């Protein structure tokens, strides 16, 4: 190795990358520390592996660690490891150039990320440029390294200001490993202070907490003075300082990568502690899955199902709960690519050793390993939920059932796995959950369809006039009160060969209509339709009603009243669909209106009664009247006349 300092020029494409890193404004500059810690961890991994065949290579330096040394006065940041180190030639090959590491691919990925600034930092590292992310925060980088082994007795120094060149020369270093010193850039107004202990502590906790080696930093602490050093008065009371400032080395990371251990080696308390750290949820998890996959693809996974739904479960921009690691090094904490939206409540960690650090989301979506992991995790979750007993599953469904059901229309391929997990209250369940399997088992011998009704209040649905004939026949009806159910029934057309049928749409075909009686009412129904032309498209005898006078229904393909209500509540335009007014020909009120109509078709009260029949139908399904004052006055007048 030459003793004098040599100056080298970066290749054009490498300088291009450096310019992007140095001059672009990134929203997350913290990644420089993650990258440097990751490199240090890899270096220690390599020397540990080499020590298996060369036991003497470690010498007396057998306590592996990664040391951080911020200096607020000098405005420097130093990171040291006692890993494998590098020779002069290795420095030139690994640090001096990155052309062999996929520069063209990196630049291409950056091109795709234009306009998506948050993606750019995630690409750093994937193509072997992680070391250079330090230039986001440093004006100059100095690297001093010494390779492990008896032959590597000379250290090497590499220096660059990222200005197109770098220098390499011989140096002095007592022990193997690498020390990198960053001369930090002048701090801008909103920049983090990377010499501040809490900043460093938080970055390590978030990004490198489970690195397998201690990440240490000297911190200042107040420690009590020995009693003999405390100045006291005549009453033996302290009159001076009782503590002193001392510097102590502190380990910043937990190193508890429990997902890499066998489940038999991990205590329940450790699982719970890790869950709380991961989720910031102080309730214990409801269930967990600790998985190790081995073979052509190897990865570890530790998944948790919370016991309580987070408050932001339905917030559009909420983050997913899956943290992605590679060899215990954090990649991202919002990995939507590993878990479908309907499992967004699942918390956990996936550690895929074959995955590149900082892989971009765009690449994750196409990565075969990631797709394979996702498929296996989803299968395991379905297995877990399917095996839960009712005592555990029902509380789970109370919290997350509405989210799980989203998968029936967002993931059609999984619809048949999700449908058996769906639960509903019914007209016969007395407030308890009923599965579709149990519903089908309990169907009457002459029942051909699974009946359901949608709405926002269970009590209103349970007492809906639409269900009167169904109850009379002792048919069970699913009471769907989650907004998502409106989309579920559009996807789930049948279950176990039985079609789903809305209790408020289409003909129920429960009883044959008396054609002669219907003929007798045609004229009245035509009159009522004429008066309510702007509100209804048809007036007809009801196949649903037994005790009530009227109800509103729709054709099979029409939007339900609840769906219309949901759209309006969310500010979306709802199509103007007229409903069908169904009247109970067996009800005394309808019979008396028919008699009045036949005796005096010009009677002004007929129009009032027509309007009242419609308003009663709206109220019966929990709808809002356009003119509630008019309805109230009409009911009051009727009551007054009845009392006379």
**Per the annotation, where are the binding residues for ATP?**
35, 39, 81, 86, 94, 100-102, 126-131, 178, 361
First to last CA, the chain: 117
DSSP symbols for 550-608: EEEEB-TTSPPHHHHHHHHHTT------PEEEEE-TTSHHHHHHHHHHHH-TT-THHHH
d(C-alpha 137, C-alpha 186), whole Å:
9
CA distances from 622 to 454, 465, 574 (A): 12, 11, 18
- Cβ atoms of 432 and 479 within 8 Å: the answer is no
β-strands 76-81, 66-71: how paired?
A: antiparallel
Would you give the DSSP letter of residue 294?
Answer: -
Which residues are part of a known binding site?
A: 35, 39, 81, 86, 94, 100-102, 126-131, 178, 361
H/E run at residue 478:
strand 477-480
Would you give the DSSP letter of residue 505?
Answer: B
d(C-alpha 288, C-alpha 265), whole Å:
15
d(C-alpha 286, C-alpha 290), whole Å:
14
d(C-alpha 543, C-alpha 510), whole Å:
7
- Cβ atoms of 460 and 624 within 8 Å: the answer is no
Sheet with strand 155-160: strands edge to edge: 6-9, 165-171, 155-160, 138-146, 177-184, 76-81, 66-71, 215-224, 243-251
> CA Rg, the chain, in Å?
36
Please identify which residue in the block is written with the tokens 């009712």. 390
Enumerate residues 6+ apart whose C-beta is below 8 A from 88.
1, 2, 154, 156, 168, 170
**Tally of CB atoms within 10 A around 69:** 15
Helix axes 605-620, 588-599, angle to 10 degrees: 160
H/E run at residue 141:
strand 138-146
d(C-alpha 378, C-alpha 375), whole Å:
5
H/E run at residue 393:
helix 390-404
DSSP symbols for 65-114: -EEEEEETTTTEEEEEE-S----HHHHHHHTS--GGGTHHHHHHHHHHTT
């Amino acid at each position: 190795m030459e003793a004098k300092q040599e100056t080298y020029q970066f290749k054009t494409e490498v300088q291009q990358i450096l310019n992007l890193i140095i001059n672009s404004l990134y929203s997350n500059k913290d990644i420089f520390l993650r990258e440097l810690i990751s490199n240090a961890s890899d270096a220690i991994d390599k020397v540990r592996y080499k020590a298996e065949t060369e036991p003497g290579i470690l010498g007396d330096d057998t306590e592996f660690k990664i040391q951080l040394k911020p200096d607020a006065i000098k405005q420097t940041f130093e990171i040291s490891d006692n890993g494998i180190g590098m020779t002069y030639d290795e420095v030139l090959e690994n640090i001096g150039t990155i052309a062999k590491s996929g520069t063209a691919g990196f630049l291409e990925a950056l091109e795709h990320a234009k306009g998506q600034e948050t993606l750019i930092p995630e690409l750093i590292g994937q193509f072997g440029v992680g070391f250079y992310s330090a230039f986001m925060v440093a004006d100059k980088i100095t690297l001093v390294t010494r390779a492990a082994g008896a032959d590597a007795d000379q250290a090497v120094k590499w220096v660059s200001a990222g200005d197109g060149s770098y220098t390499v020369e011989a140096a002095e270093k007592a022990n193997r490993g690498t020390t990198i010193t960053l001369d930090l850039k002048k701090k801008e107004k909103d920049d983090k202070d990377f010499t501040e202990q809490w900043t460093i502590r938080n970055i390590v906790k978030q990004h490198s907490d489970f690195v397998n080696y201690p990440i240490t930093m000297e911190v200042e602490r107040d420690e009590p003075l020995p009693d003999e050093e405390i100045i006291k008065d005549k009453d033996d009371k302290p009159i001076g300082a009782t503590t002193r400032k001392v510097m102590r080395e502190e380990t910043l990371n937990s190193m508890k990568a429990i997902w890499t251990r066998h489940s038999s080696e991990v205590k329940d308390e450790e699982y719970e502690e890790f869950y709380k750290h991961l989720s910031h949820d102080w309730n214990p998890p409801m269930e967990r899955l600790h998985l190790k996959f081995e073979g052509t693809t190897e990865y570890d996974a530790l998944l948790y199902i919370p016991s309580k739904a987070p408050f932001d479960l339905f917030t559009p921009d909420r983050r997913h709960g899956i943290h992605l690691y590679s060899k215990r090094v954090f990649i991202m904490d919002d990995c939507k690519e590993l878990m479908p939206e309907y499992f967004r409540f699942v918390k956990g960690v996936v550690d895929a050793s074959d995955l590149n650090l900082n892989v971009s989301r765009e690449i994750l979506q196409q990565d075969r390993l990631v797709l394979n992991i996702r498929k296996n995790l989803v299968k395991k979750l379905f297995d877990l939920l399917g095996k839960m007993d009712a005592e555990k599953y029902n509380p789970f469904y109370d919290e997350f059932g509405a989210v799980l059901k989203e998968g029936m229309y967002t993931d059609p391929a999984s619809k048949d796995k999700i449908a058996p997990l769906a639960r509903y209250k019914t007209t016969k369940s007395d407030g308890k959950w009923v599965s579709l399997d149990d519903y089908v088992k309990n169907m009457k011998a002459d029942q051909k369809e699974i009946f359901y009704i949608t709405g926002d209040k269970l009590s209103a649905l349970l007492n809906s006039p639409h269900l009167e004939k169904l109850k009379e026949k002792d048919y069970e009806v699913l009471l769907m009160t989650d907004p998502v159910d409106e989309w579920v029934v559009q996807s789930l057309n049948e279950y176990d060969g039985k079609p789903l049928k809305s209790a408020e749409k289409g003909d129920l075909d429960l009883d044959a209509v008396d054609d002669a009686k219907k003929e007798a009412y045609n004229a009245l129904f035509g009159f009522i339709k004429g008066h309510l032309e702007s509100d209804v498209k048809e007036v007809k005898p009801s196949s649903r009603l037994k005790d009530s006078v009227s109800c509103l229904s729709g054709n099979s393909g029409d939007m339900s009243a609840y769906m219309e209500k949901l759209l309006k509540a969310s500010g979306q335009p709802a199509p103007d669909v007229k409903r069908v007014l169904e009247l109970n020909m067996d009800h005394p009120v309808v019979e008396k209106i028919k008699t009045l109509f036949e005796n005096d078709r010009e009677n002004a009260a007929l129009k009032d009664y027509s309007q009242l029949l419609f308003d009663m139908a709206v109220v019966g399904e929990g709808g809002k009247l356009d003119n509630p004052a008019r309805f109230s006055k009409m009911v009051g007048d009727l009551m007054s006349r009845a009392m006379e």
